[in-house]
């Protein structure tokens, strides 16, 4: 039998609680650990770091409001900085923040977890007790801190992770496209043969999708930068000095380099999560774009013999445990799954965001979890798609030329000259007999082979003019 782990006794307003002797957190965190054994998934790391930024900025603002002595401010700020440094360096960082995502809807459990951890470290620095509620949480409430942390975490992840990743994908598409101008392939509508397109036009279309996604996501930033901090319990700002919100944002901006500002209406910022819902919707749209690109790549890569076989994606790993030599489009498949997850996350955020009952939304933890997961997944997926699929695929010109030569839809170019009915006869005959469209048109019209070759030139047809 193993010996029980050493514990210490902590107290909160409900009484005594046994806490692991070496834990930085206290009684309220332990109660949440015991109460919420639901998913085994802790709150997002990025949300925790945002909460630590809130604690440090709040301490600085409190000092500037003359409501906190400099030594305590410094102890809280340094404790937050220590934890933020550990976030980037030590795998054990999240052991201090173990509470399940599925917890109290306001996120109070995780908020008090942060307060308790910071209070423990600050007390060690000062050599005297520091209160998680009265000191670290001064002029704050879970009800404004958690909505603020969601905005802070999302804004930082958007600026430093997703937008750079989408910029990378967009750049790879734009860089690759000009070199593919001479490669003409069969276009497809309804998955059926259509008029020809150039590969640079295909990549240009994808690039425009990503460019639009970047623009839509950037439009979300001004709303994300407006914070609920200062509204405290219900939006009235009770227990916070009037100047606290502005000073808080100034301290936060000095640390992050962004331009956070107090929300124009704390009641809306705390009672609703419309900004989160809006951002999630744009993340879903971005996921739809990535899924379209991933699926196009999969179709174009299909084969190599029985599919389209127009391109060959980089061979990254064996594709089958039983079929030797098989190679699968693993990156587009992974990105398609990412897109599916983000679309599902948006549904959850939508349902959660409408749970703003009177002065507080009560599904904040799951909003934070899904919103941040979507941002991170899309960022990672965009980089993988750019660097491991699009940058390195090889074009199979011979396969594309073979398909183009037999494509009866090329006869569309003859419509203005021979009419739709005659063009349809030529197309059906070519398809039925498996013959090149040029040969059949030469037999069924008097245009002459040279003129027909000019009219049916696939590269010319990609420029739009017939």
Rounded Cα distance between 252 and 52, Å, is: 11
How far is the C-alpha of 323 from the C-alpha of 260, rounded, in Å?
55
Strand-pair category, 7-12 with 311-312: unpaired
DSSP-based three-state secondary structure for 88: helix
Write the DSSP assignment of 153-188 as a string of letters: HHHHHIIIIIHHHHHHHHHHHHHHGGGGTT-EEEEE
Give the residue carrying structure tokens 């990105």: 335
Q: What are phi and psi of 38, to 5 degrees?
A: -115, -50
H or E stretch at 19? strand 15-20
Is 289 a known active-site residue? no
Catalytic residue among 13, 106, 141, 190: 190
d(CA 329, CA 301): 7
Q: What is the DSSP track for 25-75?
A: --HHHHHHHHH--SSS-BPPHHHHHHHHHHHHHHHHHHHHTT-S-HHHHHH
Other CB atoms closer than 10 Å to residue 386's CB: what's the count? 23
First to last CA, the chain: 85
436 CB-side CA count, 13 A: 13
Contact 133, 115 (CB under 8 A): yes
Active site residue: 320, 355, 382, 463, which one? 320
Residue of 310, 223, 203, 317 whose CA lies nearest to 272: 223
CB-CB contact of 62 with 68 (8 Å): yes
Pairwise CA distance, residues 428 & 195, whole Å: 16
Task: Tell me whether residue 321 is one of the annotated catalytic residues.
Answer: no
- The two tokens of residue 229 are 């901090």
Residues with active-site annotation: 190, 320
């Amino acid at each position: 039998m193993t010996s029980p782990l050493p514990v210490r006794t902590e107290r909160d307003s409900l009484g005594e609680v046994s806490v692991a002797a070496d834990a930085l957190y206290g009684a309220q965190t332990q109660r949440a650990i015991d109460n919420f054994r639901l998913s085994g998934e802790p709150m997002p790391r990025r949300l925790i770091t945002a909460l630590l930024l809130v604690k440090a900025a709040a301490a600085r603002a409190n000092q500037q409001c003359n409501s906190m002595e400099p030594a305590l401010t410094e102890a809280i700020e340094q404790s937050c900085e220590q934890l933020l440094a550990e976030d980037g360096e030590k795998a054990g960082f999240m052991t201090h923040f173990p509470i399940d995502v599925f917890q109290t809807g306001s996120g109070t459990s995780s908020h008090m977890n942060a307060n308790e951890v910071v209070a423990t470290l600050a007390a060690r620095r000062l050599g005297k007790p520091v209160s998680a509620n009265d000191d670290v949480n001064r002029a704050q409430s879970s009800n404004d801190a958690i909505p603020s942390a969601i905005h802070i975490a999302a804004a930082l992840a958007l600026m430093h992770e997703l937008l750079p990743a989408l910029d990378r994908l967009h750049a790879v598409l734009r860089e690759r496209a000009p070199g593919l101008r001479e490669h003409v392939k069969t276009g497809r509508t309804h998955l059926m043969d259509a008029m020809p397109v150039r590969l640079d036009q295909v990549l240009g279309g994808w690039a425009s999708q990503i460019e639009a996604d970047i623009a839509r996501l950037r439009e979300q930033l001004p709303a994300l930068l407006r914070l609920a901090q200062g509204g405290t319990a219900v939006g009235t700002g009770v227990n916070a000095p009037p100047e606290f919100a502005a000073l808080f944002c100034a301290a936060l901006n000095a640390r992050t380099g962004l331009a956070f500002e107090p929300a124009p209406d704390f009641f809306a910022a705390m009672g609703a999560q419309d900004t989160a819902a809006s951002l999630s919707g744009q993340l879903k749209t971005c996921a739809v774009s990535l899924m379209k690109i991933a699926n196009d790549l999969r179709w174009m890569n299909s084969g190599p013999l029985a599919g389209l076989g127009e391109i060959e994606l980089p061979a990254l790993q064996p594709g089958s445990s039983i079929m030797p030599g098989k190679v699968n489009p693993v990156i587009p498949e992974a990105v398609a799954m990412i897109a599916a997850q983000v679309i599902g996350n948006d549904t959850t955020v939508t349902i959660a965001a409408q749970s703003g009952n009177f002065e507080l939304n009560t599904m904040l933890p799951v909003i934070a979890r899904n919103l941040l997961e979507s941002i991170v997944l899309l960022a990672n997926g965009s980089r993988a798609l750019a660097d491991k699929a699009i940058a390195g695929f090889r074009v199979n010109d011979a396969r594309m030329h073979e398909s183009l030569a037999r494509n009866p839809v090329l006869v569309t170019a003859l419509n203005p000259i021979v009419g739709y009915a005659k063009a349809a006869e030529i197309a059906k005959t070519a398809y039925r007999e498996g013959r090149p469209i040029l040969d059949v048109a030469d037999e069924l019209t008097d245009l002459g082979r040279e003129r027909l070759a000019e009219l049916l030139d696939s590269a010319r047809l990609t420029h739009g003019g017939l």
